[in-house]
Amino acid sequence: MANTRQHQLHEKKLEELMKLMPFYVVEYVDQKLGSRSPSTLLNYVHDYKLFFEWLMAEGITNAREIKDIPMSVLENLKLIEAQGFIRFLERRDIQVNKQDTKKSEKVSINRKISALRSLFKYLTTQTENEDGEPYFHRNVMLKIEVTKVKETLNARAARIATKIFHQDDDIRFLEFLKNDYEQELPADSRKVVYFKRDKERDIAILSLFLGSGIRVNELSNLRLRDMDFEMGQISVLRKGNKRDTVAVVPQAMDDVKDYLAIRNQRYNATGEDYEFVFLTKVKNEPQPLSNRTIEALVKKYTKAFMSNKSMSPHKLRHTFGTNLMEETNDIHLLMMQLGHSTTSTAALYTNPEQEKARKALKELGEKRKER
C-alpha cells in the first residue's frame, strides 16, 4: 500500500515504533496494514503509546516497559479508569513552542478514542485463541462516547473563507515573491543566498498549488514523467492510491518550466522521467523535498506577504477551489479538479446561502436609510 514517499517513510517509522509495542498491538497492525495506510496506523500506534504510558504512570499496570503490558490490563480496565484517560487528554498541556502550550482539540481526542476503539474491537471480536474464542470479551471502550464537533456547513465555509487569499491576492502574492521578497531579506545574508538558489523552485511550488488545487502529498510525489506541458496537465496519485489527471493554470505550468530550466544544474539532478520534480540539495546530492519542507516554505512566504499570519498548502488548495467555483459555479467540475468524492465536501468552496443572506441584509439596511 505504501506507494508514496510519505507512506514509505511512515512505514519505516511504524516498523521502529512497533519494537516498543506488546505482541497484540503488533498483531493488530499486521492485520490492518492491508486495509489502512501506514500513515493512519502510525498515528494510531502513537496514540497507543500515549495510552500505555498513562497506564504505567497511573499504576494501573506494574509493567516497566510498554511491550510487557499484558492483555489482561486492557481486559480488566475499569470504566472509571478509561474515563480518567480521556480527562487526562482533555487537561494535558501540549507544547506548541518554547513559550506556549495549548489544550488538545476535540478532534484530536476523538481520534485517540477511535484508535483505542479499533484496537479493543479487534481484540474482542476479530481474534481467535486456541478455543476458537476472541482474546477477551469485555470491551470497556464501547462505553466511551465520541462527542462529535458540531459545526454547520455555513460555519465551516465561513471559517475557511477567513484563512485564504481573496480577489487577486494570490496573484499579488506570486508577484511579491518574484519581484519584492528578496529586497526584504538582509543584504549578503545566507537567506539571500538560499532564496536565489531556490527562487524558481519555490515559486513553481506555490504557483502549482494556486493553479491546480493539488494536495501537498500529491505535489511532493510528482515525477518528471507526470508533467504534460503540451496538454497543460499533470498526473497525480490521489488518496486511496488512485491515479488522476489534473488540469493546471497555464501560468503555473510556465513557472514550472522556468524551474525545470535550472533544476538539473542547480540541484545536480538528471532529466530521467522517473526522477522527482521538486528537489533540494543535501551534501551536493539531489534529494526530493519532503512534505514538511514544503509546508515550511509555504508558511514562510505567506507570512512574509501577509505580515501577521501564515498559510498552509491546504489553504492554498482552498484558495484555488474557491476561485474555480466563483469562476465556473460548477460543483462537479470542482469535485473532479480537487479529487473529491462527495458534493458535501466540495460545497465548502461555495456558500450561496450565506451570500444571499448578505445581499438581503444589505437591502434591508438600504430600506432603513430611506425611512
In degrees and rounded to multiples of 5, residue 9 shows phi and psi of -65, -45
Active site residue 356: no
The catalytic position among 44, 48, 122, 349 is: 349
* CB contact set of 206 (below 8 Å; sequence gap of 6+): 173, 174, 177, 298, 301, 316
Q: Is 314 a catalytic residue?
A: yes
| Active-site option among 215, 259, 267, 301 | 215
Active site annotation includes 318: no
Backbone angles phi, psi at 179, to 5 degrees: -120, -30
Residue bearing cell 444571499: 356
Confirm whether 78 is a catalytic residue: no
Catalytic residue among 7, 201, 263, 340: 340
Nearest residue to 301 via CA among 203, 179, 216: 203
Q: Which of 197, 266, 314, 315 is catalytic?
A: 314
The angle, 0 to 180 degrees and rounded to 10, between the axes of the packed helices 23-32 and 106-125 is 100
Q: Hunting for cell 492554498 — which residue is that?
A: 316
- Scan for cell 507570512, then name that residue: 303
Question: Which residue in 103, 137, 239, 257 is the catalytic one?
Answer: 239
**Structure letter (DSSP) for residue 162:** T
Catalytic residue among 317, 332, 356, 362: 317
End-to-end C-alpha distance for the chain, whole angstroms? 67
The answer to whether residues 276 and 221 touch, using CB atoms and an 8 Å cutoff, is yes
317 is catalytic: yes
| Residues classed as catalytic | 215, 239, 314, 317, 340, 349
